[in-house]
Amino acid sequence: MQTSMPQELQLLLRHIYEEGQQHDARTQERREKMLLLEPETAQVLSLLIRSSKRKRILEVGTSAGYSTIWLAWAAGEQGHILSIDREAQKHMLADAHLRQAGLREQVTLLCGDATEVIRDLEGPFDFVFFDADRFSAPAQLSLLLPHLERDVMLCADNVLSHPEEIAGYLQAIAALSDFEHLVLPVGKGLSIAYRT
């Protein structure tokens, strides 16, 4: 991977990712797994955010904060990330990782069921990353639509790994006639929808 990210941050991310992989290998209960994003997918998200200077970012599914660090670094000092997870213990870990990365001040962690949390959000957001439970993503998208910038990008992981679970989200995206949409075969399959 070639990136302009500082070496220290790259090393921290590699460490968090490896720890996540080891944790998941010895954990049976799915809800306790970290399920971190593949590094290549995280780099694509970061590239999209940096190249189009996105600053108001919503992440659905924080886990240990691996992808959150990528998003916060990509958005830069003027950016802000709001990240939701229902597991308080994962948020404690994400909090520690974000502090280690020196990016804690750019991130608000909101703990709760994502759909319920999103009901109370005002936005506006110019980038949304869906990486939690794929069944609720269509309802979350519908709640978010009035709170999106005109120029907005919506990304979702797991298109190739969980096609049945994410079908409802992809249908909801396809119904938005003012969005362009494609699926990148990177990692587990990344859906990218873009409104110009």
Ligand X SMILES: C[S@@+](CC[C@H](N)C(=O)[O-])C[C@H]1O[C@@H](n2cnc3c(N)ncnc32)[C@H](O)[C@@H]1O
Only segment of 22-30, 83-91, 162-170, 187-195 that touches ligand X (CB under 6 A):
83-91
- Binding to ligand X by residue 126, rule CB under 6 A? no
In the complex, the smallest distance separating the C-beta of residue 145 from ligand X, rounded to whole angstroms, is 19
Among 44, 72, 107, 132, binds ligand X (CB under 6 A): 132
Please state the closest distance from residue 93 (CB atom) to ligand X, in A: 10
Closest CA to 66 of 40, 89, 88, 39: 39
Question: Burial of 100 by CB count in 10 Å (0-12 exposed, 13-18 middle, 19+ buried)?
Answer: middle
Among 81, 101, 114, 154, the residue binding ligand X under the rule CB under 6 A is: 114
Shortest Cβ 117–ligand X spacing (Å): 7
Q: Which one of the spans 2-10, 29-37, 74-82, 159-167 is the region binding ligand X (CB under 6 A)?
A: 29-37
Alpha carbon distance 157, 173 (integer Å): 14
Interface with ligand X, residue 90, by CB under 6 A: yes
Q: Per CB under 6 A, does 136 bind ligand X?
A: yes
Give the E-state strand segments of the chain in sequence order.
56-60, 80-85, 107-111, 125-130, 148-156, 180-184, 190-195
**Helix, strand, or coil here: 7?**
helix
- Contacts with ligand X by CB under 6 A: the residue count is 19
- Residue 24 interacting with ligand X (CB under 6 A): no
CA distances from 172 to 88, 99, 145 (A): 30, 36, 11
Q: What Rg do the C-alpha atoms of the chain give, in angstroms? A: 15
Encoding tokens for residue 194? 């873009």
Judged by the rule CB under 6 A, the positions of this chain that interact with ligand X are 35-37, 61, 63-64, 66-67, 84-87, 90, 113-114, 131-133, 136
